Amino acid sequence: MAIPNIPSLYQKIARGAEGGLEFARIINQLLVIEGKQTDCEVIITDDAAGDFKGVDCIIRKLGSIAYTGFQYKYYPSNLSIQHKRRIEESLINAIDQFPEMEEWILVTPEDFTKYDAKWFESLKKKYAKEPECIEIGGRKYYFKKDKMLTFQHWGHTAITGLMLEYPSIGRYYYREELFAHDENKLVLSKVSVDTENTIWFHSGRFKNRVIQDADNANNKKSSELVFDIQFINNSEHIYHLQYIYVHLDKIWTKLKGFPKDEILRPIGSIEVDIDFKKK
């Protein structure tokens, strides 16, 4: 089924401060569910408390020291000059307060126009490597750390994708546009891998990629790949599932053969005299 042309959240919810708070709550809920699916820690600041470390939400992969900061801006496209200035100030504030951050993601309710996209590309080039000093509006900002940052923008397309993936939230805002065909049906709601009882874990930001932890192969956890699949029954019927097809897109390994010091090799020759006349 083709995805219909649907209105953005900026067209669905209230404008102004009230809409901005609702927009933040929506994105927070989507990121919390996303974090559970990808084994990530999600840190969200309460609306009334202000940004923590200069961002609205922080995501960290469990066991990793790489942090991603999310900044929400309830601005429509095209962005005004004032909107662009506020976004840049938020980025500077995040760089200053959050030195551990390796990726900064700007979330707005609408996709960028080509003019907004061009401006955002210039912003990425300007701050990809932290400068020593930046001056905006007569105020100077100094930075102590010299590292590379990566940038992304999530707009209407990305938000719609999350709504489709997590229908518990998506149905509230896009029931008629996206989920009308799911009424009175058994709908797949979750496909993941059991990482608690097996030695498999999710790989970085690729939520559909899993890796076997060979270093823990001897512990009590199972080495089998165990899937966790959940459905939502929107009908009055009781379904009996006989089988589920799982498509593995790609399988790979980093093993390229045994190390040379582990391979059996000759250590020399041994001569033995044998008298074949003896029984």
Reading the block at residue 8, the tokens are 């953005």
Alpha helices of 58-189 — where are they, by DSSP H? 81-97, 114-127, 156-165, 167-178
What pLDDT score does 31 carry?
A: 94
What pLDDT score does 222 carry?
A: 82
Fold of 9-159: Trna Endonuclease; Chain: A, domain 1 (3.40.1350)
What pLDDT score does 126 carry?
A: 86
- CA dist 154 and 26 (Å) reads 13
Reading the block at residue 87, the tokens are 């976004």
User: Given phi > 0 = left and psi -120 to 50 = alpha, else beta, which region is 54?
Assistant: left
Q: Cβ atoms within 10 A of the Cβ of 14, count? A: 13
What pLDDT score does 179 carry?
A: 76
What pLDDT score does 13 carry?
A: 93
What pLDDT score does 136 carry?
A: 53
φ/ψ of 103, rounded to 5, equals: -140, 140
With vertex at residue 133, the alpha carbon angle to CA 132 and CA 138, rounded to the nearest 5 degrees, is 175
The residue assigned the tokens 């609306």 is 47
- CA dist 51 and 239 (Å) reads 46
Contacts of 254 (CB under 8 A, 6+ apart): none
Taking CA atoms, 85 is separated from 40, 51, 117, 153, 259, in Å, by: 31, 17, 15, 16, 56
CB 38 within 8 A of CB 60: no
Contacts of 263 (CB under 8 A, 6+ apart): none
User: What residues form DSSP beta bridges with 101?
Assistant: 67
For the chain, the structural domain boundaries read: 9-159, 184-250
- Model confidence over 138-149: pLDDT tens digits? 555 545 455 678
In which residue ranges of the chain is pLDDT below 50?
1, 142, 144
